[in-house]
Amino acid sequence: MNENNLSHIRHSLAHLLGAAILELYPESFLTLGPAIDNGFYYGAEIRDKVSEDDLEKIENKMRELAKNWTVFEKEIVDKDKAREIFKNNVYKNEIIDGIVKEDQEISLYTSGSFTDLCRGGHVENFKDIDMSGWKLDRIAGAYWRGDEKNKMLTRIYGLAFESKANLENYLDMREEAEKRDHKKLGKQLDLFTFSDLIGAGLPLFTPKGTLIRNLLDEYVWELRKKVGYEQVDIPHITKKDLYEKSGHWSKFKDDLFRIVSREGHEFAMKPMNCPHHTQIYARKSWSYKELPQRYASTTKVYRDEQSGELSGLSRVRSITQDDAHVFCRMQDAKVEMEKIYNIVKTFYQTFGFTLTPRLSLHDPNNMNAYLGSSEIWEKAENELRNLIKEKADTAIEAIGEAAFYGPKIDFMAKDAIGREWQVATIQLDMNMPESFDLSCTNENGEKERIIMIHAAIMGSLERFISTLIEHVAGIFPVWLSPVQVTIVPVRIEQHGEYANKILAQLREKNIRVEISNNDDSLGKRINSAKAHKVPYVIVIGDKEMESGNLTIETRTEKIEGIIIDDFIKKLENEIKNRTLG
Enumerate the active-site residues: 274, 303, 321, 323, 325, 408, 454
SS in 3 state form for 542-558? HHHHHHCEEEEECCCCE
Residues in CB range of 438: below 8 A, 6 or more apart? 278, 281, 282, 327, 432, 449, 450, 452
Residue type (1 letter), 54: D
Are β-strands 39-45 and 73-77 bridged in parallel, bridged antiparallel, or unpaired? unpaired
**540, burial (CB in 10 Å: exposed 0-12, middle 13-18, buried 19+):** buried
Tell me whether residue 495 is annotated as binding: no
Residue type (1 letter), 490: V
Residue 439's DSSP bridge partners are: 449
Tell me whether residue 118 is annotated as binding: no
CB atoms within 10 A of CB 437: 11
The terminus-to-terminus CA distance of the chain in angstroms comes to 37
Tell me whether residue 274 is annotated as binding: yes
Distance in angstroms (rounded) separating the CA atoms of residues 433 and 277: 11
Residues in CB range of 197: below 8 A, 6 or more apart? none
Distances (CA, A) of 343 to 294, 380, 388, 445: 14, 21, 14, 34
300, 323 in Cβ contact below 8 A? no
Annotated binding residues for Zn(2+), as ranges? 274, 325, 454
Annotated binding residues, as ranges? 274, 325, 454
